[in-house]
Amino acid sequence: MKKVLLILSLLIVASGGALYALKGKSQYEPGKYSLEIRPADRPFGVGSTLNYRLPDQFGKAHLSSPETRTIAFAFTKNAGHILRSTMEDKPAGYLQKRRAVLIADISGMPTVIQNMFALPDLRKSAYPMLLIYDKEMARRLKEGREGSRVVVMRLQKGKVVAIEQADSPEKLTALLER
């Protein structure tokens, strides 16, 4: 019996090590991406500007645009579920038509979880989801905000003019369609 338990334990440890070796390496390349908030000396909010180069779930880089009118941020798993539920039944081009961008913070997620669960799940989506892998980038954006809700920022020519929050897919849909 002890030998069986020992063999099972060794198999579990070896499997975990193999899994980590295969899925434990991040695909994120920090030098390729950036996020700049101005002014730099105060929290991100109304009056701030946001310039970014962030990857989507497929690794494609996206640049901020002065044409973007709405950015919806998900900083927690719950907020991510609200984003996904909102987008479930939306037609192709929904975000582009509204000049909206979705950004999810996955910086607190272990790399193995990102690679095994989060990214494969996001890749099933028909819409781009920009991702923040860097904890410092995420910290500046979520400073003082309610994490369980989707934070929706309205922009004019790259400048934040209003901030609202959505705690349900219906509320987020209403904010995206304004």
Number of Cβ within 10 Å of residue 32's Cβ equals: 11
Give the chain's residues under pLDDT 70: 1, 4-25
Run of H or E including 16: helix 2-23
Q: What are 55-72's pLDDT values in tens digits?
A: 999 999 999 999 999 999
Give all domains of the chain, ordered by start, each with its CATH number.
29-176 (3.40.30.10)
pTM: 0.84
